[in-house]
Structure 1
Amino acid sequence: MTGDVDDRPGATHGRLVEAMNSGVLATDESGLITAWNPGAQRLLGYTRDEVLGKRMHLLLRRDAAGHVPPERDCRLLRALRTGVSAHGDGERFAHRDGRLVMCSWSAAPIYTGDQAGTGSATGAVAGLVVVFQAAADQVAVERERRDRLAQVQRANSRLALVAEITTVLSSTLNEKDLLRRLVRLVVPALGDWAEVDLLIPDGRVERVTATHREMSAADIAGLEGPLPPVPRTPRGPLARVLRGSATVVVSGGADVRSDEPLGAAQYELFQVMDAQSAIIAPLAARGETYGALTLGYSRPGHGYGPDDKLVVEDVARRTGLVLANARLYAEQRNTAEAMQRNLLTPLPQPGALRLEARYVPATQASWVGGDWYDAFALPDGATGLVIGDIVGHDLHAAARMAEVRNMLRALAWDMAGPPSGVLARLDRVMAAVSDAELATAVFGRVEGSPAGPWHLRWCNAGHPPPLLITGDGGTHFLDEHGPLLGEPDLTGTRPDGTRLLPPLSTLVLYTDGLVETRGTDLADRLTSLRRHGSHLAQLPLPDLCDKLLERVEPGGEDDVALLALRTPG
């Protein structure tokens, strides 16, 4: 009947294909187009008559350059050859007017045994059905998403790098060590090479470290060392940065070349590094410039944009703060060490007896101060020996040490009694006139005639035991001891000890920094001291002191004071 709707399955499918907004085409087994719906015409411009019987691959497929790709690379034809469904995103189809249209597509094979609507797949591949639609917007969105993701990942990696740099640099206060660590961290993350030029406090400039991702350490070492001074009127970028200028980005060696000696030295470095681009950032903190960090790329096409500049400046700023702290630490440590050394008096050489002393400051400024040694002649001809340690570490401890040392020396000179009496009197005087709370000390008297024999009388107030080393290598700790100084109510409980000092024997008095190290057993450390003392017994006294410090290896957590006496043969 006229006007009746054809509801046969094939006709229904045909109407659906015609109504689709997506493009739909079909091919036979050789890839010739056999069907083309209106959606395909809207997307690619070709009419049905223009495409029917044409080879789909030659007519529609294009690569990024607009050329027909090899058939072996065409995934649409591969689906036709293999009979396996396929899909693609962001691939180029040729428009009738020559434009390239980005499309996403799905392709399914047609089999000779297909029955409409049954979904069966039997027989040989008789053709291909391709459904495609414009994907330019989708591709642009996906590209933007990937770009933003890459930016986030790059930002996160650089934040992690900055955090790692901060942690690593904060682990040391040695200038050259921290700068060597710095350049190893920023290459290759922020450049192909890096170097640091440092302003030395006396006005010199020194390239303290450099590195390159492809150069050996031996090649790099030749680039380090003193540089020409910063000119009064800086012209080159490095000189300007060292004089307090902001970060400078340069495109290569030509931008750093100048007639000033410092600029010539920087140009020579750029030539060796094959610099294509670079950035020079000041290492500054608290209004002072300490040096410059230079990063660069040797590969063409790489440079430093605004985001890179911010990261490099952040790294340089953090490094400048660490350098400022390192120099403050060094200044404090040098002050404390100088004060401590100035408070340690020169040793006498009483007759045939020989005396040697060593002082090794702690590795941190806040740990310096409080340890002392002393030796002096007494009115009755004996030689007084003192080793001591004020509780606490800092300049105040060093000052209190000087008070206690002077009081002990005066009391020992004035009192003819046993060492324990001198220390008992010192307890009472400390409580009355000094703010030193607690201290340990050994006070001894070495008595004898030039021909011998020699004797030691001593009293130990809570201090590590002196070590006696005989000429044949025998060792003995002088273990008698009593409570610390600073507790006057406990006076009288410290015993005096007496010991014969055989010919060519060595008496070693030391502070706890020599034998007490965090994480080690004190008994083991004392055994080590005793063993090394025995092995070194026959060395000259100065060598014995040096070797003992070298072999026992103090931990550096405290000062070490050492006083050694040797009797004649």
Structure 2
Amino acid sequence: MPSPVSPSRDAPRDRLPADRSSVLLVGPTRAERYALDDLPDLVVCAAEDLAAALADDAAPELVVLGSGVPAPLSLVPMVRDRHVGVTVLLLTTPMTEPDLRRDVAAQGRPDDLVLLGIDELRPSVFGRVSARAPRGRHPQVLATLPQTLTAGTSAATAVQPAPAVDFGPLLDRAPVGVVLSGSDGQLLGWNRKASVLLDLAHLVAGVEGRLCDVLPQAVPLLRALDAAGPEDEARELGLVAPTTAGRHLEVTAVRTEAVPDGMPGASGTAGAVLLLLVDVTEQRLAERGRERLSRQVDLLGRISESLTSTLEIEEALSRLAEVLVPEFADWVCIQLGDDMDDLSQVTVLHRNPALAGTAARMRARHRLFASEGAPSRRVASGGGPLLMNRLDEQDLYRSVADEELRELVRQMGVGSLLAVPLPGRDGILGSMVLVRDEARSEFRQSHLAVAVEAGRRAGSALDNARLYRSHHDLATELQRSLLTAPPRVAHGPIAVRYVAAAHEAQVGGDWYDAFSQPDGSTVLVVGDVIGHDRRAAAGMSQIRGVLRGIAYTTGEDPAQLLLRADRAMEGLAILSMATAVVVRLEPTVAPGIGERPSDLRLSWSCAGHPPPILLTPEGEVRLLGADDGELPTPDLLLGLDPQAPRTTSHALVPDGSTLLLYSDGLVERRGEDLDHSISRLADALALGPAAESLEQLCDRVLEQLLPVEPEDDVALVAVRLGSEL
């Protein structure tokens, strides 16, 4: 047999007789229902049954709208239409009270609309007694409920009433705050919205309260309007001012003489000021958020730019520090580790130039004495980002074990700290510590997020720089291992130079060579394999070996050496193309007809290569093979046609001359004619000092002709010709 169904606790009870007073409880929660359950004349109904509950002829003394009602203010007109003057009480929770109170104030509800929390509900209704009241007592208590709740008691807070001044119903219920002030700052009146925005409910208009006490930032508007001339009667001034409650109000001020009659302080208020207040807190917060985000994006962009504009690790660290200080931090310490987990590089920068010496000492000390408990070490070992605020002496002692280093930290200043890792491809490269001193605002979580992203970008860029440096150093060492030191020969001292291109991490194809043949002749070679990669380096080493072996074993003239080398390249499948110049210095022999005893014989052949250049003892510069200033036409470069004819040129040069062989990286420039480029080299040789040594000459030529970052490799061989040693 089915059990009987109990009536719903929210269903309306039997209506009271018309001569009885009642409390109508609408849509309560279980706790609210329990708080008033023993009232003898309590009627409970759901929100949707309110119209039926109000149909009774007996007016309820109090209507309580529970916190479970979705839109309680929408039910108030229904209550007032049926029973004029009945007190309506709105139950709130800590979550709903702020929004509900704002809606009540904005809609300008009557003063007998009361907001109450669950904790104040029963004491207020039962006259603030701890035990349940005897039946029938609540009508007398309820009769004074509105006065009790609006008198500033701690148990409940009512909607603040408007000031006694009559602004008229339109202004009094306007959605913007309206304040009337005398030119001296005396508050003469305000509407309901202004009372809420500025918390003016405790003031009496025209009697107490001044603008400087509630909105001091708006006082200059009064002064500006007071100083305006008659032609500025309609002048409006505005600003955005913060309130003591943390809100931001857009304030517009205009001078007015239309002061309502009967307003306190109205007499003699010519030149009163009307202030319009609009709450722009949300817009202000949004603007600040956008500005903060824009600054963060700009900072990260400048960090990326500073790091990608150089491949030098020390310069990259210095640029990163300069971007972060002083905009983001007062000082920064960046550490990079090596393969042995030791600190290889430390950069420290403080915003105060006077502390540059302290920063330098910290940099040197930190590399040797940074403890495992230091934030930099904790982050670098995988501990994750750190945010530390309000660091005291105990925190400093735990983080910095070395007393001298700890004193340096004190001198630099520390109040708030961020530590983030610098991640690379294969692990953490190091860490970055950002510090603000006690005088600056503390770091927040938003700052930590920016620092982590800055560390990620820095780690990626530094990893690339390290990889480039490693490859570049390896390539340079490989290339130099293939370029032997010049030998001592009978025809004078020899100097050699090799400069790798600054922008290339790969090894190039330029080479030089100098060696003696069995008959005592000296062979000088400069060549350039097409390309700047490992294949060019491999081709360079093969061609150099082939040419060197043929020249030593055959003793033939330069053209035959190049011809044999070209054919050997085809037979050995050396798939490279190269330019080369070969010069042979012959032993001193008895002079022939027209020859001087001091003249030396040399022969040369060019395979697509710039011609040698000669500096005589008298300072004359001659381009070997040139005819009336025109550049000689070289033979075909190596690797194209092994049957192509090749020619050997001969010349007699005076004793004491300097012969220079070079690769095209020394003279060729993008957009410049080769004749002009070689003319610059000739000028550099001619303008050197008379007593200049061969080594000094090579250094000076490279310094004058090469840019800071060469675009191509350069190989150079110079010999100071003289009689047999």
- Cα distance change of structure 1 residues 60 and 90 upon mapping to structure 2, 3 Å threshold: farther
Q: Could you tell me how far apart the structure 2 residues matched to 1:279 and 1:151 are?
A: 21
How much does 1:343 deviate?
Answer: 0.8
User: Alignment partner of 1:244: what SS?
Assistant: helix
- Cα distance change of structure 1 residues 312 and 568 upon mapping to structure 2, 3 Å threshold: same
Q: Could you tell me how far apart the structure 2 residues matched to 1:198 and 1:277 are?
A: 22
Deviations 1:202-251 (A, max 9, x none): 65425643322232485366336434557898222222223333222233
Aligned partner of 1:559 in structure 2 is 713
- Cα distance change of structure 1 residues 234 and 30 upon mapping to structure 2, 3 Å threshold: closer
Aligned partner of 1:343 in structure 2 is 482
Aligned partner of 1:331 in structure 2 is 470
Deviations 1:408-437 (A, max 9, x none): 112223434432122122222212213332
Contact 1:22 1:40 in 2 (8 A): no
Aligned partner of 1:180 in structure 2 is 318
The one-letter code matched in structure 2 to 1:523 is: D
Q: Could you tell me how far apart the structure 1 residues matched to 2:194 and 2:401 are?
A: 69
- Cα distance change of structure 1 residues 268 and 477 upon mapping to structure 2, 3 Å threshold: farther
Pairwise mapping of residues 205-284 of structure 1 onto structure 2 (< 5 A)? 205=343, 208-216=346-354, 218-219=356-357, 222-223=360-361, 225-227=363-365, 234-251=372-389, 252=391, 254=393, 257-258=396-397, 264=403, 267-284=406-423
Contact 1:89 1:104 in 2 (8 A): yes
Q: Could you tell me how far apart the structure 1 residues matched to 2:480 and 2:210 are?
A: 87
Aligned partner of 1:516 in structure 2 is 668
Contact 1:242 1:292 in 2 (8 A): yes
Deviations 1:3-25 (A, max 9, x none): xxxxxxxxxxxxx9644352899
Contact 1:367 1:558 in 2 (8 A): no
Compare the two structures and name the one with the higher strand fraction.
Answer: 1
**Larger Cα-atom Rg:** 2
Aligned partner of 1:316 in structure 2 is 455
Q: Could you tell me how far apart the structure 1 residues matched to 2:488 and 2:456 are?
A: 54
Contact 1:208 1:224 in 2 (8 A): no
Aligned partner of 1:420 in structure 2 is 559
- Cα distance change of structure 1 residues 535 and 33 upon mapping to structure 2, 3 Å threshold: closer
- Cα distance change of structure 1 residues 259 and 277 upon mapping to structure 2, 3 Å threshold: closer
Q: Could you tell me how far apart the structure 1 residues matched to 2:469 and 2:190 are?
A: 83
Q: Could you tell me how far apart the structure 1 residues matched to 2:242 and 2:427 are?
A: 59
The one-letter code matched in structure 2 to 1:539 is: E
User: Alignment partner of 1:387: what SS?
Assistant: strand
2:641 to 488, 499, 516: 488
Q: Could you tell me how far apart the structure 1 residues matched to 2:293 and 2:534 are?
A: 45
Aligned partner of 1:61 in structure 2 is 210
Say which is worse superposed, 181-190 or 169-178, in terms of deviation. Answer: 181-190
Contact 1:62 1:92 in 2 (8 A): no
Q: Could you tell me how far apart the structure 1 residues matched to 2:195 and 2:705 are?
A: 91
Q: Could you tell me how far apart the structure 1 residues matched to 2:461 and 2:622 are?
A: 47
- Cα distance change of structure 1 residues 165 and 78 upon mapping to structure 2, 3 Å threshold: closer
Contact 1:378 1:413 in 2 (8 A): yes
Q: Could you tell me how far apart the structure 1 residues matched to 2:186 and 2:624 are?
A: 107
Aligned partner of 2:654 in structure 1 is 502
The one-letter code matched in structure 1 to 2:600 is: W
How much does 1:534 deviate?
Answer: 2.1
Is 1:167 aligned to residue 305 of structure 2?
Answer: yes
1:542 to 684, 695, 701: 695
Is 1:193 aligned to residue 355 of structure 2?
Answer: no
Aligned partner of 1:529 in structure 2 is 681
Is 1:454 aligned to residue 606 of structure 2?
Answer: no
Q: Could you tell me how far apart the structure 2 residues matched to 1:466 and 1:18 are?
A: 103
User: Alignment partner of 1:243: what SS?
Assistant: helix
How much does 1:442 deviate?
Answer: 0.5
Pairwise mapping of residues 108-119 of structure 1 onto structure 2 (< 5 A)? 109-110=256-257
How much does 1:540 deviate?
Answer: 2.1
- Cα distance change of structure 1 residues 256 and 452 upon mapping to structure 2, 3 Å threshold: farther
Say which is worse superposed, 504-513 or 190-199, in terms of deviation. Answer: 190-199
Contact 2:186 2:211 in 1 (8 A): no
How much does 1:91 deviate?
Answer: 8.5
Is 1:151 aligned to residue 305 of structure 2?
Answer: no
Q: Could you tell me how far apart the structure 2 residues matched to 1:148 and 1:182 are?
A: 30
Q: What percentage of residue pairs aligned between the two structures are identical?
A: 30
The one-letter code matched in structure 2 to 1:503 is: D
Deviations 1:126-171 (A, max 9, x none): 74777778x5xx42xx122111211111111211221121122111
How much does 1:70 deviate?
Answer: 13
- Cα distance change of structure 1 residues 38 and 244 upon mapping to structure 2, 3 Å threshold: closer
Is 1:75 aligned to residue 222 of structure 2?
Answer: yes
Say which is worse superposed, 72-81 or 193-202, in terms of deviation. Answer: 72-81
The one-letter code matched in structure 2 to 1:427 is: D
Contact 1:236 1:263 in 2 (8 A): no
Is 1:477 aligned to residue 623 of structure 2?
Answer: yes
Contact 1:22 1:131 in 2 (8 A): no
Q: Could you tell me how far apart the structure 1 residues matched to 2:275 and 2:528 are?
A: 88
User: Alignment partner of 1:425: what SS?
Assistant: helix
Deviations 1:501-522 (A, max 9, x none): 2111111111112112345554
- Cα distance change of structure 1 residues 259 and 416 upon mapping to structure 2, 3 Å threshold: same
Higher relative contact order (CA 8 A, sep 6+): 1
The TM-score with structure 1 as length reference comes to 0.79
Aligned partner of 1:10 in structure 2 is none
Q: Could you tell me how far apart the structure 1 residues matched to 2:715 and 2:275 are?
A: 87
Q: Could you tell me how far apart the structure 1 residues matched to 2:471 and 2:192 are?
A: 86
Q: Could you tell me how far apart the structure 1 residues matched to 2:520 and 2:238 are?
A: 104
How much does 1:564 deviate?
Answer: 1.1
The unaligned stretches of length 5 or more in structure 1 are 1-15, 94-99, 115-123
User: Alignment partner of 1:363: what SS?
Assistant: coil
Is 1:404 aligned to residue 543 of structure 2?
Answer: yes
The one-letter code matched in structure 2 to 1:491 is: A
Q: Could you tell me how far apart the structure 2 residues matched to 1:35 and 1:358 are?
A: 91
Aligned residues: 522
Aligned partner of 1:121 in structure 2 is none
Q: Could you tell me how far apart the structure 2 residues matched to 1:398 and 1:327 are?
A: 22
Contact 1:80 1:127 in 2 (8 A): no
How much does 1:458 deviate?
Answer: 0.6
How much does 1:462 deviate?
Answer: 0.8
Deviations 1:296-351 (A, max 9, x none): 21243512111100111111111111111111111111111111111112322122
- Cα distance change of structure 1 residues 256 and 443 upon mapping to structure 2, 3 Å threshold: farther
The unaligned stretches of length 5 or more in structure 2 are 1-165, 261-266, 590-596, 626-631
User: Alignment partner of 1:190: what SS?
Assistant: coil
Q: Could you tell me how far apart the structure 1 residues matched to 2:298 and 2:710 are?
A: 32
2:172 to 9, 19, 22: 22
Q: Could you tell me how far apart the structure 2 residues matched to 1:210 and 1:147 are?
A: 35
Contact 1:230 1:262 in 2 (8 A): no
- Cα distance change of structure 1 residues 262 and 62 upon mapping to structure 2, 3 Å threshold: same
Contact 2:181 2:211 in 1 (8 A): no
